[in-house]
Structure 1
């Protein structure tokens, strides 16, 4: 289950990431709570800050993919991580100084979002260089385990610290946590990174990436489904914060507890994914999308806080299956010189709809019910999963991922053999 940890570079990366991600999740909870506090409990304000934080993905994620295909990913990641640490430090200073205002949070969320939009596709496409093609699937699952372990620990710690000492200290802790992943990147043995083919600088590379994705039925269905589910269904930062505060009349610790319950489920799903050895099929991805929609509707309908927390556990497991299936299919079925751009388009679909969905769902929670984001998001996710499956059936698609995965694997083997010959 932990095969990828045999690689020293990946061990460094995973250890740095777990600390940094704990800090990131602490900041996310603290930022949502700070916005709710500064705005007097306005869910739309949380939606706006999420739109500003993820809005840059619409423009920059694909450019981040182009950079990943052209240049040294490790150096790019060092730059983006340092930038995000600086923005977190400014927010910490403003909050601890007692002068923070809502517009400060908006501006810094946008700045951090710009760095994150470039960081995400580079980080995702960097995994294969850390472990190679044979361990890629296992490394993706372990990345998910790391992410979701942090998602359990971070919100729980953050909820307690916010209650005891306020949000400012949480932001300061996140600044320190960035140092761990930066140190891991600096300490890596560059000679042990797997050699991959880089794209040469040329005009029209973004258009080439979109044409490549749109020309394949499987990728087209996958990415459109990801867009709909992530834009409207995966709205937990808004829905859980508003549900805890406005429906059940509870504090930041309750919001942290609900986030932790969701993360327990995703960690369980990641553990199962790490044990999987067979290739992931697109049918699994679509079933997960459909199941997630049904479970999210159930969460939104639960009458008590305790039942919401319980229902979030299986919901989290299905979310993890959905995201890791998408990541496995994409990374294992595209050529290496196109991987960065495809991951950039994936991040565009995964996060780029947030500026659209978050304000709409926040407004909906304000004018109707705090449960509305969960119910509406669940219906849309359910419909997206069913529509994707129906479209593939109409196209008479017999899981085209398998053919393209084999072609990409052949390309990867040729590249690896070529790199060995060059070294010799």
Structure 2
């Protein structure tokens, strides 16, 4: 086998499975649409308010429900047919995009309405996230779970390359309303993919029966499992302050680098190119340890510090690639460990807890960084995130966190059996 064919085979091997191919294609279209809405919401609120604090509050509205509903949503995922649950939440998300479009077409879009739909979108994300990520595990055999998880991360990252740039293009040509419409239409792809899947080819894990105390049980399980707990702690810190650099980035571009909305979407896409490279690099790995997650957090933090020092766009663009590489390297590695080490019966709750500490930390960190940016400038907002990422990474690399880091096999144990015909 030639080196190119071997690379292709090793990197994309989980796409041999029909259900995962359908899911991958549908998600690629839909996630590009999601980034259309996320970036367009930011640009619309920035156009209305020109306020860093308002952008931080928007992030809180978008992700606050994940913090509040995370454990319950994970339990719902454990108890439910995940494909059916995804059909419901994706349909609701489509309706929310069309509702945003209706508001954006108004002569003066109401800020309260935009924030209200952002909250509803956060509720949808709270239920979608654990169900979608647990469903990835059901579409491939256990030996290929790491590859599927990593390719799914690469897919999400690819959408970040295309979506923000497309958002800037559409907003500048057809306006905010039609950009939201485009996102609504994109959900047709993922809904069609889910409906076309063969249930007999799914590798379903056990459905958790109803019982008291199941949310607390999930929390206790995570706390006593070092390979789950350490990445969760790092994700809480990095998610609160470092990943919220996206809240600061629009003002960093417009106020410090002299750019406009289009330049912001270009820089965002450049960061995403680095993220795509990082995701594909992790996809080829067969083992990962908690110390490696810490190293990736340090790389992310150092690159953010360099970005904060960038004097102009020409310097910021290549550094943006490093920021993307470090950010997705950290996110993919920590996600893979948590997803693979969690017991199948606990996976939905553990993934919901991960979403809660990562996405749910956004409503805490968003307003904090918004206030810092408002008071001290966008560069300081990025510096705070950089320091947080480096600190979390050094803690993760240290034996003082509770034991010597060990390799975590990225080939999952055989805990899921194929569904009966």
* Same fold (TM > 0.5): yes
Q: 1:130–1:193: 8 Å Cα contact kept in structure 2?
A: yes
Query: 2:332: which partner in 1?
Result: 324
Question: Cα distance, 1:219 vs. partner?
Answer: 2.1
User: How far off its partner does 1:400 sit?
Assistant: 7.3
The 8 Å contact of residues 73 and 127 in structure 2, kept in 1 or not, is answered as: yes
Equivalent residue number for residue 5 of structure 2: none
The change in CA–CA distance for 1:394 and 1:362 in structure 2 (over 3 A counts) is closer
CA deviation vs aligned residue, 1:293-318 (integer Å, no higher than 9, x gap): 11111111111112111101011111
1:271 aligns with 2:280: yes
Q: Which residue of 2 aligns with 1:399?
A: 406
Q: Normalised by the size of structure 2, how large is the TM-score?
A: 0.94
Please give the alpha-carbon distance, in whole angstroms, between the structure 2 residues aligned to 1:398 and 1:365.
36
Secondary structure of the residue aligned to 1:320 is helix
Asked if 1:409 is matched to 2:403, the reply is no
User: For residues 260 and 400 of structure 1, what CA distance do their matches in structure 2 show?
Assistant: 33
1:189 to partner: Cα distance: 0.8
The residue that corresponds to 1:223 in the other structure is 232
Aligned position for 2:42 = 32
Shift, 1:158, TM fit: 1.0
Deviation string 1:133-189 (CA, Å, 9 cap, x unpaired) is 111111111111211111111111111221223211111100000111111111111
CA distance in 1, matches of 2:15, 2:287: 20
Choose from 187, 191, 205 the match for 1:196: 205
RMSD over aligned Cα, in angstroms? 1.6
CA contact (8 A) 2:245 2:385 kept: no
Of residues 170, 174, 184, the one that matches 1:161 is 170
Question: What SS class does the counterpart of residue 281 from structure 2 fall into?
Answer: helix
1:382 equivalent in structure 2 = 390
TM-score after normalising by structure 1: 0.93
**Gaps in structure 2 of 5+ consecutive residues:** 1-10
Contact 1:162 1:252 in 2 (8 A): no
In 1, the alpha carbon distance for the partners of 2:385 and 2:401 equals: 26
For the 8 Å contact 2:292–2:397, the answer to whether it is kept is no
Cα contact 1:14–1:146 (8 A) shared by 2: yes
User: Within the alignment, does 1:14 sit opposite 2:18 as a pair?
Assistant: no
Q: 2:323 maps to what in 1? A: 315
Structure 1 gaps of 5+ residues are none
Q: 2:125 aligns with which of 116, 119, 132?
A: 116
CA distance in 1, matches of 2:189, 2:279: 23
